[in-house]
Amino acid sequence: MNIMEINNYRALIQYDPEIEMFRGEFLGLNGGADFYASDIEGLKKEGAVSLNVFLEMCLEDGVEPKKNYSGKFNIRIPSELHEDIANVARSEGKSINKWVVETLNYASHP
């Protein structure tokens, strides 16, 4: 993953070949906050500036900066995969929910 943490906020970093710069975009915000630089130090500096401007605007407007997530989401999967997951979870003595949460947590924090 191309994730950079700036002041406890995560930003996705991607290279933009058209302008030959790196672009950062903060994740999980209630609005857009992006930044550009040609190197890591520049990304950190520009990211901090962009984040501060965004947070100041949120404060002025009375808006919560971070999105709120319910902790629930629905997915559709093939019935065969559902059966496989149920069998694996049961073989480990877990509910499907617990198995999926553990699997997703492991995948999202390599």
Q: Provide the residue type at 18 as one letter.
A: E
pTM (2 decimals)? 0.76
For 50-84, how does the pLDDT look when each residue is reduced to its tens digit (9 = 90+)?
Answer: 999 999 999 999 999 999 999 999 999 999 999 99
- Token pair belonging to 106: 């492991």
74 closest CA partner among 92, 93, 99, 100: 100
As a whole number, the mean pLDDT across the chain is 95
- 3-state helix, strand and coil shares in percent for the chain, rounded to the nearest 5: 45, 20, 35
Average pLDDT over residues 1-14: 94
Alpha helices in 36-95, H assignment, sequence order? 40-61, 79-91
